[in-house]
Amino acid sequence: MSETSDEYWMRHALQLARRAREQGEVPVGAVLVQGDKVIGEGWNRPIGQHDPTAHAEMMALREGGKALENYRLLDTTLYVTLEPCIMCAGAIVHSRIGRLVFGARDEKTGAAGSLVDILGHPGMNHQVKVEQGVLAEECAAMLSDFFRMRREQKRAQRQAQRAAEQGATPGSAA
Ligand SMILES: [Zn+2]
């Protein structure tokens, strides 16, 4: 089975999402491509950066602007593992990228049709071509695995804490 270039770049975005996971951040990755060249990369890291805007897409767009020395990122495609939120959808419109390709949908906060459709709003002065569902299962699995792991860690922490509390109760050591 031959891989399309969309799948190729989505795999690259998944690699970046793994970096977020290694840093304890919700694993979302984004790569900005012009022609066949990477001009921006990002992974989600609001916690580590103390920055509520440090989403994968924002980081990739910022890098892309520096690479092109232009605030308009014309003729570029942004690949992101998860449907962008309202903030990122706004930044995507401002940046004038040509195409957005995302993997998994985000029913809770997605701004490309799930919660709201910022990108498809007919009043928008810039229309971005949107494609979704590229490697969707892998992109979604990365997130659900992460949240499951985090729940298990929290449960283990609670158990360890309970055990420590019981151990500290006078008389229980006998
Ligand atoms: Zn976002």
pTM over 0.85: yes
139 labeled part of a ligand binding site: no
Task: Tell me how far the alpha carbon of residue 85 lies from the centroid of ligand 1, in angstroms.
Answer: 4
In whole angstroms, how far apart are CA 114 and each of 71, 73, 97, 111? 28, 25, 21, 6
Q: Using the predicted structure, report yes or no on whether residue 168 has a pLDDT greater than 80.
A: no
**What radius of gyration, in Å, describes the C-alpha atoms of the chain?**
20
Mean per-residue pLDDT, 27-53: 97
Task: Tell me how far the alpha carbon of residue 81 lies from the centroid of ligand 1, in angstroms.
Answer: 11
The pLDDT value given to residue 29: 98
Q: Using one digit for the tens of pLDDT, what is the confidence trace for 140-165?
A: 999 999 999 999 999 999 999 999 99
Task: Tell me how far the alpha carbon of residue 2 lies from the centroid of ligand 1, in angstroms.
Answer: 31
Residue 3 CB coordination number (10 Å): 10
- Do residues 82 and 106 make contact, with C-beta atoms less than 8 angstroms apart? yes
> In angstroms, how far is CA 68 from the centroid of its own chain?
23
The pLDDT value given to residue 170: 61
55 labeled part of a ligand binding site: yes
Burial track 32-67 (b if 16+ CB lie within 10 A, e otherwise): bbbeeebbbbbbbbeeeeeeeebbbbbbbbbbbbeb
Q: Using the predicted structure, report yes or no on whether residue 21 has a pLDDT greater than 90.
A: yes
- Do residues 100 and 77 make contact, with C-beta atoms less than 8 angstroms apart? yes
CATH topology of domain 6-165: Cytidine Deaminase; domain 2 (3.40.140)
The pLDDT value given to residue 3: 74
Task: Tell me how far the alpha carbon of residue 92 lies from the centroid of ligand 1, in angstroms.
Answer: 10
Q: How many CA atoms lie within 13 A of 32 on its CB side?
A: 28
The pLDDT value given to residue 50: 97
State the catalytic residues: 57
Q: Using one digit for the tens of pLDDT, what is the confidence trace for 70-103?
A: 999 999 999 999 999 999 999 999 999 999 999 9
